Amino acid sequence: MAKKQPSLLEFQRRFPDEASCARFLFERRWPDGFVCPECGGTRSCLLKSRAYTYECVACGRQTSVTAGTVMHRTKLSLTIWFWAAHLMATHSNGMSAQQLKGQLGLSYSTAWLLAQKLRRSMVDPEREPLEGVVEVDQTEMPFRADNSFFEITKTGKMIVIGAVEVINHATGKAQKPKALGRKYLDTLSGRIRLAAIPSNHAPHIHAFIKANIAPGATLITDGHASYLGLADYRHDPRVVGNMAAHIPLKWIHRVFALLKRWSLGTYHGLRRQHLDTYLNEFVFRYNRRFYRHVSFETILGLAIHRSPVSYWDITGQQNPRKDAPTPRRNSRRRKTVEGMRQDGAAPVRHAVSPLEIGDQ
């Protein structure tokens, strides 16, 4: 049923060079031809001085085909971005930086940043709250403090809270709530939500539930005291006691088991600092597991226009050079269609029809 995905080789034939990627971006951005975001003008010229940038003839506003995507102001080639996004999209478990490095011949640090940026687009765009009957539970996820493996002093555990919608197998729709304590048999798992929380105290748990589950839903939990006092929900605690917890909370336990296997298999354990990004990716893939095809366009950020994320945003560090004037001995170099160009050198500008870009 699902459309067969092209292999990386087929994909590389479709996007063999920068021009083919740029043409694709142009067509996605302006399917009916160039439109200036400033004045609505439709006449433009392609700048030779800056890569894939069009200048409005009417008002002079310059717009890059990569503006608003993860690729904006990148030093990497568009083909690398396209191919990496294709690999992330077609491997149902995703790709670690180590795997991208091997596939695309990049340095580890470049591959790592590329993977992080691509992963940030994998946030469920339609985060409608979960409804109906929802299992909620917590688990501990091991994490690594840094890139060192198997060093017991550098590992720890984080609490992850999760929720999963219970679906009725026969109808394929949200399970109707039953009287408290009644068993839900013959069910399926629906959409999920996950988040890392600093502790299992009530404020953190309540905040997660309010943010992710629609009021009026029935919450099936292990009866932990932190679930009490949620006025807008119907609480159906299952006292786990001697019974294994995976019996009354079957679906959320299956989600946690998959999450742990995935984090070890694909990423050899998660790093604490980036846990939310990984959890978002897992939720994104899980909620689409019957439609394995995540488009590479989604991963490139073409579907949703979001502001680009910098290295400093991802690592959570302060950019030491932010707002500081940059002392330069030589003027800055820019990437242009014809390679690097020194700033200040005379820009060459040709008025061409936008679609001639491939023939440059």
In the complex, the smallest distance separating the C-beta of residue 29 from Zn ion, rounded to whole angstroms, is 15
Residue 317's SS3 state is coil
Contact positions toward Zn ion, by CB under 5 A? Answer: 36, 38-39, 41, 56, 58-59, 61
Q: Which residues contact 339 (CB under 8 A, 6 or more apart)?
A: none
Using the minimum distance from each CB to Zn ion, give the nearer residue, 63 or 168: 63
| Under 8 Å between Cβ of 347 and 62 | no
Residue 55 Cβ, how far from Zn ion at the closest point, in Å?
9
Residue 5: closest CA among 83, 89, 81, 119:
89
Is the CA virtual torsion 19, 25, 29, 30 positive or negative?
positive
| Residue 351 beta carbon to Zn ion: minimum distance, rounded to whole angstroms | 15
For Zn ion, give the closer residue by CB, 59 or 243. Answer: 59
Q: Who's near 335: CB < 8 A, 6+ residues apart?
A: 50, 51, 75
Helix (H, G, I), strand (E, B) or coil at 56: strand
Cβ 22 to Zn ion shortest distance, Å: 20
Q: If 0-12 CB within 10 Å is exposed, 13-18 middle and 19+ buried, where does residue 214 land?
A: middle
Q: How far is the CB of 37 from Zn ion (least distance, A)?
A: 8
**Closer of 62 and 77 to Zn ion (Cβ):** 62
State the nearest-atom distance from the C-beta of 80 to Zn ion, in Å. 31
Question: From the CB of 35, what's the least distance to Zn ion, in Å?
Answer: 9
List all residues 6 or more positions away from 197 whose beta carbon is below 8 Å from its beta carbon.
Answer: 138, 159, 160, 161, 204, 205, 208
Is 62 or 226 the residue whose CB approaches Zn ion more closely?
62
> Measured from the CB of residue 349, what is the shortest distance to Zn ion in angstroms?
16
Q: Which helix (H) or strand (E) holds 55?
A: strand 53-56
Q: What is the dihedral of CA 342, 343, 345, 350, to 10 degrees?
A: 100
Nearer residue to Zn ion within complex by CB, 61 or 272 = 61
Q: Helix or strand or coil: residue 232?
A: coil
| Nearer to Zn ion (CB atom), residue 38 or residue 356 | 38
Collapsing DSSP to helix, strand or coil, 106 comes out as coil
Pick 53 or 221: Cβ nearer Zn ion:
53
Sheet (strand 62-64) strand order: 44-46, 53-56, 62-64
Nearer to Zn ion (CB atom), residue 38 or residue 232: 38
CB of 112 to Zn ion, least distance (A): 38
How many Å apart are CA 46 and CA 204, to the nearest integer?
Answer: 52
Nearer to Zn ion, 56 or 111 (CB): 56
Pair 159, 138: CB distance under 8 Å? yes
The string of DSSP codes covering 254-275 is HHHHHHHHHHHHHHSSEEGGGH
